[in-house]
Structure 1
Amino acid sequence: MLKLPIGATERWLIFVILVMGAALGVLTHTFLTLPNLFDLLNASSVDIIFGVGLLVVLIAGGIDISFAVAASVVQYLTALTLQAMGGGDWALGILLAGAFGAALGCFNAFWIYQFRIVSIVVTIATYNLFFGLLMFFSGGVSLYDLPDWLTTRIPVVSIETTNGRAEITILVIVMILCVAATWTLLQRTSTGRQLYAMGDNVEGARRIGVSLGAMHYLAYGWLGLMAGIAGLMQAHYAEEVVPNALYGRELNVLAAVVLGGARLGGGRGSILGVVLGIILVGMTQNGLNLLGISPYAFKMIIGAIILVAITLSSEGVGKLIGSLRAPRTRRMAQ
Structure 2
Amino acid sequence: MHNLLNNRKTEIRLGIVLLAMIVGLSLGSDSFFTLNNLTSLLNNNAINLIWAVGLLVVLIAGGIDISFAVASSVVQYLAVQVLRQIGGGDWVTGIVVCGVIGIALGLVNMFFIYRFRIVSIVVTIATYNAYFGLLMFFSKGRNIYNLPDWLTDRVVMFEYEAADGTWSELTLAVGAMVVCVVATWLLIQRTNLGRQLYAFGDNPEGARRAGVNVAAMQALAFGWMGLMAGIAGLMQANIVKEVVPNALIGREMDVLAAIVLGGARLGGGKGTVLGCVLGVMFVAVTQNGLNLLGVSPFAFKMIIGGAILVAISTSNIDFADLFRRRQEAAK
Q: Tell me the TM-score normalized by structure 2.
A: 0.90
Tell me whether 7-16 or 294-303 shows the greater mean CA deviation.
294-303
**In 2, are the aligned partners of 1:251 and 1:302 still within 8 Å (CA)?**
no
Residue ranges of structure 1 left out of the alignment (5+ in a row): 329-334
Can you give the 5+ residue segments of structure 2 that lack an aligned partner in the other structure?
Answer: 326-331
In 2 relative to 1, CA 142–311 (structure 1 residues): closer, same or farther, beyond 3 Å?
farther
Cα 1:18–1:312 shift into 2, 3 Å: closer
Alignment of structure 1 residues 299-310 onto 2, 5 Å: 299-308=301-310
Alpha-carbon distance in structure 1 between the residues aligned to 2:261 and 2:217: 24
Does 1:269 pair with 2:259? Answer: no
1:312–1:125 Cα change, 3 Å: farther
Q: How does 1:288-327 map to 2 (within 5 A)?
A: 288-308=290-310
Instruction: Give the alignment's Cα RMSD to 1 decimal.
Output: 2.1
> Would the aligned equivalents of 1:9 and 1:273 in 2 still touch at CA under 8 Å?
yes
Query: Identity rate of aligned residues, in percent?
Result: 61
1:195 & 1:305 partners in 2: Cα distance?
27
70-79 or 162-171, which moves further after superposition?
162-171
Q: Confirm or deny: 8 A CA contact 1:142 1:240 kept in the other structure.
A: yes
> Which string of whole-angstrom CA distances, capped at 9 and with x for unpartnered residues, describes residues 194-228 of structure 1?
10001000110011000001111110011000011
Return the alpha-carbon distance in structure 1 between the equivalents of residues 312 and 107 of structure 2.
Answer: 25
How many corresponding residue pairs? 315
Contact 2:197 2:217 in 1 (8 A): yes
Note the C-alpha offset of 1:301.
Answer: 2.7
- 2:116 equivalent to 1:115: yes
Write the mapping of 1:171-186 to structure 2, written as runs, cut at 5 A.
171-186=173-188
Q: 1:287 aligns with which of 280, 286, 289?
A: 289
Residue matched to 1:151: 152
CA deviation string 1:43-95 (max 9, x = no partner): 11111110110000000000011111111111111122212222211111111
* 2:131 alignment partner in structure 1: 130
User: In the TM superposition, what whole-angstrom CA distance separates every residue of 1:303-332 from its partner, at most 9, and x where no partner exists?
Assistant: 33445566678xxx99xx9xxx9xx9xxxx
With over 3 angstroms needed to count, the CA separation of the structure-2 counterparts of 1:311 and 1:62, relative to structure 1, is farther
How far apart, CA to CA, are the structure 1 residues paired with 2:27 and 2:158? 27
CA–CA separation in structure 2 for the residues paired with 1:171 and 1:222:
18
CA displacement at 1:238 relative to structure 2: 1.6
Question: Structure 2: which amino acid aligns with 1:79?
Answer: V
1:215 aligns with 2:217: yes
What is the TM-score when the length of structure 1 is the normalising length?
0.89
Q: Which amino acid in structure 2 is aligned with residue 44 of structure 1?
A: N
Kept in 2: contact 1:254–1:306 (CA 8 A): no
CA distance in 2, matches of 1:31, 1:85: 45
Contact 1:35 1:163 in 2 (8 A): no
